[in-house]
Chain A
C-alpha cells in the first residue's frame, strides 16, 4: 500500500508543469516532500479516494491569513526542509507558518540574504529567491501565496495524493525546475502583516475517544494503550503515524472485515503497535481501531517528528466536541490577531502604494522627511 501507484487510465490529475511565461514560482530546490495541500478532498471516499489535505490545518490557516487568503486556500506543505523558489512574476506576496525556520530573500545583487521575521508576509519581485531552511518545533509548515496557485482542482480540491498520483501539482511532490503557476500576476503594495503570540507546538499527549473497536482489545490492551509512552517511528508519513512502544493486546485476533476509517483512527495490526491514521489514510481498512484522536488535536499531532514521544489521554465525546469548538474559536481569533508588521519598509511601502493610487509615483517619497 505504501509503494507508489500511478494512474493507469489517463494522465495524472493536477496541472501539468508548464513552461510558459505565465506568472509562477520556479522551483530551484524542492525540499524532500513539498506538496500542494488544502482542506482536503471530501465526498469521494466511497469511491476509494482518500481525503488528503494539510496535516496541520492551524498552520495552513495562519499562512493563508498572513497572505490575505481564505484560511483553507491551497498552499505548499513543507516537511522537514523548505524549498528554494525564484519569482517569475512581476511580484508576489508570500507567507510561511508552521515549524520555525529561517526564511530568507536573496537577490542577484550579491547583497547578503534578507531574513524575514517569523509569521510575517513578504512581497517579492521578479528574480528574487525565497529560501526556507530546516523546520524546528514542528516538522510541517505552509507557504501561502496571495491569491493562491493557479492549479486546477481535482474533484473539488487541490490537495495532492502522491500515492495515487492525483491532485495538487502534477499529482506529486515538487521537483527542481517545476513552475508553480500563480493566480495573481502582481502583488499590490500594502502593509505586510504579522501574527503575534502564535505558535505551533508539537504535543506530548493527544486526546482520544475510545472506539470504534475498543471491544476487540482486552482490558489490559486498552490499559497499555492509555498508560504507555509511545515513540514516533521513522516510518511515519502522511498516511499514518507509526508508533513504537509496548504492544497492545487484542482480545480475539487482529483481522476484521474492512470498514470505514475516520481521521485520527488508531489502528492496531498484529504486532500490537498502534498506527494513527492521518491525512492520506486509506478509506477503509481491516485492522481493529482501538480509539480515535479527537479532531481538535489532529493539527498538532501532525507536527510531531520521528523520535518524539507521545501519550494518549482518554476523553469522552462531549469533551472532544468542546475541544473542537474551542479550536474553531481559536482559528477565528487568529484572523483578529493579524496586525501590520512594524518597520520602515512597510511605511515606505504604504507611501509608495498611496502614491500609486494617487497616480503620482515619486520614487524619492519614501526618503522624504
Chain B
C-alpha cells in the first residue's frame, strides 16, 4: 500500500490537495512537511487559501476558480522537489511544568504501568526536547514528540469528560498540553501554568508546528503562583532560538 514513492499529491475534493511525505509519525517526514510549508508561504500563490501542516502531509486549501487544481499540483510538485529533511532551528519554549500528584491525576497509574516513581517519571519526561508536529483536535492543542520510550503508554480506557487546560498528557509516543477544557483520554502527568490558548494574544495559540518545547519542573507552590500570574495576563513567555539545525534528525518513532 505504501509502495508508491513520496511525496504523493492526493486529491481531497475540489478545494484541497494533500502533499503526503509519509504515512508514519517521523521527524524526517515532519521536517519535509514544514519545509514545504515555508516554501509555499514564500511563494504566496494566488488562490491558495490556507496551509495545514500535519504529522505526515501538508493540506493546501485553495479556490479552484482562481487556481486550477492541475496548475496547483504542478506547482506543489516543483516546490516539493529537492527538499531536505532538516529541521529549522525554530523557536524553543521553556514551559514551567509541575509534576506534583496534586495536579497529575494519572501519575499513580503511570507509575504502576511503568514501574517508575513519580520523581523518575518527571525527570525522564522533562529531560526531552519535544518537537511540535502539529496543532489539531481543538484550538491550540499541540501534538509533540517524542515521548521517551519508557513513558509510552496507551490512551486511558475511560476518557475523561473534562480535562483542565494546562494538563500535560502522554499517550503512545506523543506528549500534549490540553489547551482548553475539553474531553480527553490521554494520561495526565502534570500541569503547566503557561496558557496554550489565550484570546488576549494574537495568535491565541502559544505554539506552532515546528516549535521545540522543554518542560522545566517547578514545585506546586511555584506552579500556583505562576498560574495566578498567567490568569492575570502577566506571565509572558518568550521563546529562545532553538539549537542550530542539524542533519541528524531523530529516527522514526514508530
Contact = CB atoms under 8 A, between A and B. Distances in A.
B119 to A, nearest CB: 28
Interface stretch (A71-79, A103-111, A192-200, A255-263): A255-263
A259 B132 CA distance: 14
B195 A262 contact: no
A235 interface: no
A265 B203 CA distance: 27
A325 B58 CA distance: 26
Contacts of A265: 12-13
A11 B195 CA distance: 13
A289 B65 contact: no
B136 A325 contact: no
Contacts of B24: 257
Given A212-B10, A212-B11, A259-B54, A166 B139 contact: yes
Contact of A283 (B11, B14, B52): B52
Contacts of B137: 1, 48, 282-284
A164 B165 CA distance: 12
Interface string B34-78: 000000000000000111111111110100110011000000000
B26 to A, nearest CB: 9
Prevailing SS type, chain B contact patch: loop
A320 B13 contact: yes
Interface residues of A, number: 61
Contacts of B199: 7, 9-11, 13, 154, 166
Contacts of A282: 136-138
Contact of B12 (A45, A212, A283, A328): A212
Interface string A147-181: 00000001100000001111000000000000000
A270 to B, nearest CB: 15
A337 interface: no
A213 B59 CA distance: 13
Interface in A58-111: none
A48 B179 contact: yes
Contacts of A44: 50, 203
B161 interface: yes
A216 B56 CA distance: 16
B190 interface: no
Contact of B64 (A7, A47, A289, A321): A321
Given A262-B16, A284-B136, A9 B61 contact: no
B220 interface: no
A139 B20 CA distance: 37
A257 B161 CA distance: 24
Contact of A260 (B52, B64, B196, B197): B52
B1 interface: yes
B167 to A, nearest CB: 10
A279 interface: no
Interface string B173-196: 000000111110000000000011
Nearest to B9: A212
Contacts of B130: none
Interface stretch (B146-154, B204-212, B241-249): B204-212
The size bracket of the interface on B is 35 or more
A259 B203 contact: no
A317 interface: yes
Nearest to A154: B199
Nearest to B197: A9
A42 interface: yes
Nearest to A166: B139
Contact of B18 (A260, A263, A293, A296): A260
Contacts of A154: 199
Contacts of A256: 23
B141 interface: yes
A3 B16 CA distance: 28
B141 A48 contact: yes
B50 A42 contact: yes
A258 B137 CA distance: 10
A11 B18 CA distance: 35
B141 to A, nearest CB: 5
A266 B181 CA distance: 28
Given A5-B182, A212-B12, A49 B53 contact: no
B15 to A, nearest CB: 5
B103 to A, nearest CB: 14
A13 B180 CA distance: 13
A163 B183 CA distance: 11
A11 B204 CA distance: 12
Given A260-B57, A284-B52, 11 more contacts: A1-B137, A1-B183, A5-B183, A46-B50, A46-B51, A48-B179, A256-B23, A259-B55, A261-B59, A263-B15, A321-B14
7 contacts: A3-B161, A9-B199, A44-B203, A46-B135, A260-B12, A283-B135, A317-B14
Interface of A: 1, 3, 5-11, 13, 42-49, 154-155, 163-166, 208-213, 215-216, 251-252, 256-265, 282-285, 289, 292-296, 317, 320-321, 323-325, 328
What 3 A-B pairs come out closest when comparing CB atoms? Answer: A260-B59, A8-B165, A292-B13
